[in-house]
Amino acid sequence: MQSVKVGVLGLGTVGSGTVNVLSRNLQEITGRAGRDIEITRAAVRDLASKTACDTSNIAVTDNAMDIVNDPEIQIIVELIGGTGIAFELVSKAIENGKHVVTANKALIALHGNELFAKAQEKGVTIAFEAAVAGGIPIIKAMREGLAANRIEWLAGIINGTGNFILTEMRDKERDFSDVLEEAQALGYAEADPTFDVEGIDAAHKLTIMASIAFGIPLQFDKAFTEGISLISQEDVKYAGELGYRIKHLGISKKTDKGIELRVHPTLIPHRRLIANVDGVMNAVLIQADAVGPTLYYGAGAGSDATASAVVADIIDIVRALTTDPENRVPHLAFQPDALTDTPILPISEVVTSYYLRVHTEDKPGVLADITRILAEQGISIEAILQKEPEVAGGIIPVIMLTQEIVEKNMDAAITQIEALQSVNDSVMRIRIESLG
Ligand code: HSE
């Protein structure tokens, strides 16, 4: 039988890894796929730049569209990233009847609905395991392994850069900006690191996971994102004193009112396994009705780790080449006509408990004012910690953990607390999840 010919668009970190993993494990891969798989063509931006893989058997070009239009190529592997040229190339590949493998989370989160519809029309597959949590096979786990379950919620550490920063801040008492510079130097961060620290990268990945978990169309525009750039050393320390760790979590939950889709710093009890996922590692915790909680842990980025997911997708496509398109695993786990329009809940309607840190003047009655405002909004305090001022008459931090309350009431309370004369700066609010 003829080999399956693959064209790779982009030979950067993941592209080189894909070439390397495929050639290193060729025997196992061929045995699993049942066919020889050959990367015959690859596209790079600059033909003069060096690649981290052997391209001696690959025809390399700087014209990616040429590969997409090559009738010999059956599978296009898009590893360029972004939603510009990558969107054009993937759309054209589908139009040309080619299967697509991509690691491009933004492309799927923003244009997946349209691309999947096009792919279905053409009877081709778009595989995107590498777009979420790098090498962790989380798409496959949810779409196939958990297919018998009703998924209740999922929570993930799905940005390695953010997790590295928070881990260093906690373990080495380093400042946010200092650690971010190191993460950039180590090559973990996105080209625009605000995508990492402001939660946009995680929201792309969460949007994809939520669709697969709950059978809803991709709705990145409705995801709530809050970054970690305002997390200070003192919050990391107080959270620790209260038995919590701060993690940048992507959370999606199905509630009676709708689906929560939110990325924000979160306090998690330190004893939870996921609270101990440190450095650049990723993890996703899924609560499902039949199996209960399952936790998936591994490398969320990196050359070979992400290539592991890319190559697995290529193998899946090769195995299914002869199957009727109607009988393949659906892109978003549910058949396209079984997707529901369950609404995404606005963050103001989300119910959680909170960590609050207020800097106040050390005066009689301040605490009474704060607790009165909270009580008026129906917010019950679970724990309170007040520190002595560093200098007599100085500013004191008051830290409170609250019981669950709907976010709009907490917003109202925070506005009123910040308006108090004795309160010096913005109230720091971090949502708490017990993940129990
Ligand atoms: N910048 C991403 C991260 C890379 O830090 O996790 C993988 O998507």
Instruction: State the distance from the centre of ligand 1 to the C-alpha of 247, rounded, in angstroms.
Output: 15
Report residue 337 as tokens.
């006509």
- Cα gap 111→128, rounded to integer Å: 13
User: At residue 283, does pLDDT exceed 90?
Assistant: yes
Verify whether ligand 1 is closer than 6 Å to residue 134 (CB atom).
yes
With cut-offs at 50, 70 and 90, classify the pLDDT of residue 180.
confident
Instruction: Check residue 325 and give its pLDDT.
Output: 87
**Domains of the chain, first to last:** 4-135+303-338 (3.40.50.720), 143-298 (3.30.360.10), 349-432 (3.30.70.260)
Verify whether ligand 1 is closer than 6 Å to residue 168 (CB atom).
no
With cut-offs at 50, 70 and 90, classify the pLDDT of residue 184.
confident
Instruction: State the distance from the centre of ligand 1 to the C-alpha of 335, rounded, in angstroms.
Output: 29
User: At residue 181, does pLDDT exceed 80?
Assistant: yes
Verify whether ligand 1 is closer than 6 Å to residue 303 (CB atom).
no
Residue 205 annotated as catalytic: yes
Site to probe by mutation for ligand 1, drawn from 128, 132, 188 as the one with most ligand atoms within 8 Å of Cβ, is: 188
Highest mean pLDDT among 369-378, 379-388, 390-399: 369-378
Does the pTM surpass 0.75? The reply is: yes
Site to probe by mutation for ligand 1, drawn from 158, 179, 196 as the one with most ligand atoms within 8 Å of Cβ, is: 196
Q: What is the largest CA-CA distance in the chain?
A: 84
With cut-offs at 50, 70 and 90, classify the pLDDT of residue 63.
very high
Site to probe by mutation for ligand 1, drawn from 159, 166, 209 as the one with most ligand atoms within 8 Å of Cβ, is: 159
Lowest mean pLDDT among 129-138, 147-156, 318-327: 318-327
Average pLDDT rounded to a whole number, residues 394-409: 95
Paired strand residues for 260: 253
Verify whether ligand 1 is closer than 6 Å to residue 201 (CB atom).
yes
What does the pLDDT look like over 24-47, one tens digit per residue? 999 999 999 999 999 999 999 999
Instruction: State the distance from the centre of ligand 1 to the C-alpha of 56, rounded, in angstroms.
Output: 30
Q: Is the dihedral of CA 349, 354, 359, 360 positive or negative?
A: positive
Candidates 192, 219, 270; CA nearest to 113 is: 219
Paired strand residues for 215: none
User: At residue 389, does pLDDT exceed 90?
Assistant: no
Average pLDDT rounded to a whole number, residues 168-189: 86
Instruction: Check residue 313 and give its pLDDT.
Output: 98
Paired strand residues for 288: 151, 292
Cβ atoms of residues 275 and 112 within 8 Å? no
Instruction: State the distance from the centre of ligand 1 to the C-alpha of 282, rounded, in angstroms.
Output: 9
Instruction: State the distance from the centre of ligand 1 to the C-alpha of 200, rounded, in angstroms.
Output: 11
Instruction: Check residue 228 and give its pLDDT.
Output: 96
What does the pLDDT look like over 288-344, one tens digit per residue? 999 999 999 999 999 999 999 999 999 999 999 988 888 899 999 999 999 999 999
With cut-offs at 50, 70 and 90, classify the pLDDT of residue 244.
very high
What does the pLDDT look like over 202-238, one tens digit per residue? 999 999 999 999 999 999 999 999 999 999 999 999 9
Report residue 323 as tokens.
């199957």
Cβ atoms of residues 100 and 118 within 8 Å? no
Verify whether ligand 1 is closer than 6 Å to residue 312 (CB atom).
no
Cβ atoms of residues 351 and 253 within 8 Å? no
Instruction: Check residue 392 and give its pLDDT.
Output: 73
Instruction: Check residue 101 and give its pLDDT.
Output: 98
Instruction: Check residue 188 and give its pLDDT.
Output: 75
Verify whether ligand 1 is closer than 6 Å to residue 198 (CB atom).
no
User: At residue 257, does pLDDT exceed 90?
Assistant: yes
- Cα gap 187→297, rounded to integer Å: 21
Q: Please list, in sequence order, all residues whose beta carbon lies within 8 angstroms of the beta carbon of residue 41, skipping any fewer than 6 positions away.
A: 5, 7, 8, 58, 59, 60, 61, 67, 70, 73
Report residue 391 as tokens.
């200098």
User: At residue 164, does pLDDT exceed 90?
Assistant: yes
Q: Please list, in sequence order, all residues whose beta carbon lies within 8 angstroms of the beta carbon of residue 234, skipping any fewer than 6 positions away.
A: 357, 397
Cβ atoms of residues 414 and 408 within 8 Å? no
The full 3-state SS of the chain, as one line of letters, equals CCCEEEEEECCCHHHHHHHHHHHHCHHHHHHHHCCCEEEEEEECCCCCCCCCCCCCCCEEECCHHHHHCCCCCCEEEECCCCCCHHHHHHHHHHHCCCEEEECCHHHHHHHHHHHHHHHHHHCCCEECHHHCCCCCCHHHHHHHHCCCCCEEEEEEECCHHHHHHHHHHHHHCCCHHHHHHHHHHCCCCCCCCHHHHCCHHHHHHHHHHHHHHHCCCCCHHHCEECCCCCCCHHHHHHHHHCCEEEEEEEEEEECCCCEEEEEEEEEEECCCHHHHCCCCEEEEEEEECCCEEEEEEEECCCHHHHHHHHHHHHHHHHHCCCCCHHHCCCCCCCCHHHCCCCCECCHHHCEEEEEEEEEEECCCCHHHHHHHHHHHCCCCEEEEEECCCCCCCCEEEEEEEECCEEHHHHHHHHHHHHHCCCECCCCEEEEECCCC
User: At residue 242, does pLDDT exceed 80?
Assistant: yes
- Set 98, 105, 205, 253: catalytic member: 205
- Average pLDDT over the chain, rounded to an integer: 95
With cut-offs at 50, 70 and 90, classify the pLDDT of residue 394.
confident
With cut-offs at 50, 70 and 90, classify the pLDDT of residue 160.
very high
Q: Please list, in sequence order, all residues whose beta carbon lies within 8 angstroms of the beta carbon of residue 152, skipping any fewer than 6 positions away.
A: 253, 254, 287, 288, 289
